A = this chain, B = another copy of it.
Amino acid sequence: MARRKKVDVIGVIEESAQGVHDSIMRRRKPKMRMPVRSLANVIYKPRTGYFVLKGQNKERTLTVNTVKTFAQTLKMMALSKELVAGEDMATKREAYYISKNWGEAAFKEQPESDTVMEDIEAMFGLIREQLRFVPEEKGGEVAGRLVVVDRDSRGKKLEIDCTKFGSGSYSIPIECEHLEFHSRAKFILAIETAGMFQRLHKYNYWDKTNCILVSLGGVPTRACRRFVRRLSDQLKLPVYAFVDGDPYGYFNIYRTFKVGSGNAAHLNEYFCVPQARFLGVTPQDVLDYKLPTHPLKAVDIKRAKDALKNDPFVKHHKEWQKAIHQLLKSGVRVEQQAFAKHGLDYVVKTYLPEKLRKKDKFLP
Q: Is there contact, CB below 8 Å, between B100 and A292?
A: yes
Binds B, one of A24-32, A173-181, A250-258: A173-181
Write the A7-29 contact mask toward B (1 if CB under 8 angstroms, else 0): 00000000000000000000000
Write the A326-337 contact mask toward B (1 if CB under 8 angstroms, else 0): 000000000101
Q: Is there contact, CB below 8 Å, between B94 and A171?
A: no
Confirm or deny: A274 has a beta carbon within 8 angstroms of a beta carbon on chain B: no
A residues with a Cβ closer than 8 A to B are 88-91, 93-98, 100-101, 134, 136-139, 141, 148, 150-153, 158, 160, 163-176, 178-179, 193-195, 197-199, 202, 204, 207, 215, 217, 292, 335, 337-341, 344
In the complex, 5 of the A-B residue pairs with CB atoms within 8 angstroms, ordered by the A residue number, are: A94-B195, A97-B339, A134-B198, A141-B171, A148-B166
Q: A153-B204, A168-B150 are in contact. Are A341 and B98 (CB under 8 A)?
A: yes
Q: Is there contact, CB below 8 Å, between B166 and A97?
A: no
Given contacts A94-B344, A96-B337, 5 further A-B contacts (CB under 8 A): A91-B337, A95-B340, A151-B166, A166-B173, A169-B171
Q: Of the candidates B95, B101, B195, which one forms a contact with A136 in the assembled complex, judged by CB atoms under 8 Å apart?
A: B195
Instruction: Tell me which residues across on chain B come within 8 A of A171, comparing CB atoms.
Output: 141, 165, 168-171
- One complex includes copies of this chain to the number of 2
- Complex: A150 Cα to B204 Cα, angstroms: 15
Closest residue of B by beta carbon distance from A227:
B168
Instruction: Tell me which residues across on chain B come within 8 A of A134, comparing CB atoms.
Output: 198
Most buried by B among A137, A167, A173, A202: A167
Closest residue of B by beta carbon distance from A196:
B91
Q: Is there contact, CB below 8 Å, between A166 and B174?
A: no
Q: A170-B171, A173-B168 are in contact. Are A138 and B91 (CB under 8 A)?
A: no
